[in-house]
Amino acid sequence: MSLKKVLLMGKSGAGKTSMRSIIFANYLARDTMRLCPTIDVEHAHVRFLGNLVLNLWDCGGQEDFVENYFQSQRDHIFRNVQVLIYVFDIESVELQKDVHYFTSCLEALQHNSASARIFVMVHKMDMLPEERREAVFRQREADLKKIAAGIGKFDVHCFQTSIWDETLYKAWSTMVYSLVPNAGRLEQHLTALCTACCADELVLFERATFLVISQSILRGHADPHRFEKISNIIKQFKLSCSKTQAQFASMQVHNAAFSAFIEGFTSNTYLMVITSEPRIQPAVTLTNLTAARAVFEDLLQHLLDSPAPQGALPEEGMAVY
């Protein structure tokens, strides 16, 4: 089992617990209104892909708690951290204090977890007029990266997020992807399967959260956010199914332009297959997925239990299903 410590930080009311509840606790966006403020630190162990466990520390953002993190609990909070997720509320009227807390987090990590990955979510972007969002975000991103560069060798990844659209799934998928060992090797195997199926693209989703784990694209598409939109749609469809005591198992969509399959793949994943080749019968695609299922089950188990070196080639015969 691989245990990864993830800190979720930001000022009180920024939306930390809401986004965590949507991703990991199956909340709908409208249901987060009833959540209470986090008191001190809430710990949660979230099992992901079977053997990858996120040790998630949701840190309350009230001023007294935050000051305590940097004083009496500094080593305890910031030791052995793999990922820091810092959430900025775009509506905050105390931006300088928020930036000060972010800077203090980086300084604490520099001394305790210098190799931690930093993800910044500029949150509640839906509250800004659409024409202003990109400019405001880019300015905030530039300012935060400049701060990080002055403290250490932190590579800061910034995202625009909102609980009301697919941006939340994009940000969290990227974070989780960074924790999957040898993710490049998984992509190589997906490309082999994509080629064998004569598919346009394959996308691997984590079963519980429907976050994107990996993908292979052989033919381009105009919408770069389509996977996160699908994550959002299918996650909400699964929740609707559960309310009627039904379980989501698979879905097929066919029209004149393409065929789409979303199938339970391994014990911890779903796989989406998109093909625009009209001569390929659905039964052939499903047969290929059935043949590949055991290979990917073993592959995911191996990658998470005994990480292989980055850049490892696909195993011999992998492209034959």
List domains and CATH numbers for the chain. Answer: 2-177 (3.40.50.300), 183-305 (3.30.450.190)
Q: Which of 26, 55, 29 is nearest to 42 (CA)?
A: 55
DSSP state of 32: G
Tell me the whole-structure pTM to 2 decimals: 0.85
CA-based radius of gyration for the chain: 21
Q: At what angle do helices 167-177 and 16-24 cross, to 10 degrees?
A: 80
Give residues with Cβ within 8 angstroms of 169, minimum separation 6: 23, 210, 211, 212, 228, 231, 232, 235
pLDDT at position 306 is 54
Rounded average pLDDT per 10-residue block, the chain, 321 residues: 87 88 84 80 84 88 83 90 94 88 93 93 93 94 92 89 90 88 87 93 91 89 83 85 85 91 93 92 92 92 61 35 33
Which has the closest alpha carbon to 1: 47, 61, 66? 47
96 backbone dihedrals φ, ψ, rounded to 5°: -65, -40
SS3 call for 209: coil
CB 312 within 8 A of CB 182: yes
Q: What is the pLDDT of residue 310?
A: 37
**CB neighbours of residue 135 within 10 Å:** 10
Q: Return the pLDDT at 313.
A: 30
State the residue for tokens 């089950």.
297
Bridge-based pairing of strands 201-206 and 269-275 is antiparallel
Q: How far apart are CA 192 and CA 318, in angstroms?
A: 7
C-alpha–C-alpha distance, residues 85 and 104, integer Å: 14
Choose among 158, 171, 144: nearest CA to 19.
Answer: 171
